[in-house]
Amino acid sequence: MTDPNYYLTLASAGLVGLGMVTMAALSGWRGWLALKAQEMTNRRDLDDAPSVPSAGARIEMADLKERIRKLEAIAAGVDL
């Protein structure tokens, strides 16, 4: 175990392994950044497009308007 070649081989193998892990992590980081950039571009494109409210949203809005009318009638003292 006192052979200097053993320690040199072990150190170089560790350095190569660390380099491989570092390159894999860097590749993953770049891919994640590219994904987030693409999501931001898609979101910006969607914000520019005119949005049509869904049927559920329109029904909910109509329900809220009806509730407001009823509350205003109660506040004004009108019997429904």
Chain segment 12-31, per-residue pLDDT in tens = 999 999 999 999 999 999 99
Instruction: Report d(CA 21, CA 26) in Å as an integer.
Output: 9
Does residue 63 register a pLDDT over 90? yes
- pLDDT of amino acid 8: 94
Q: What is the pTM of this model?
A: 0.50
CA atoms within 13 A on the CB side of 10: 7
- pLDDT of amino acid 50: 63
Tokens representing 7 are 């320690």
- pLDDT of amino acid 44: 75
Q: Write down the mean pLDDT value for the chain.
A: 88
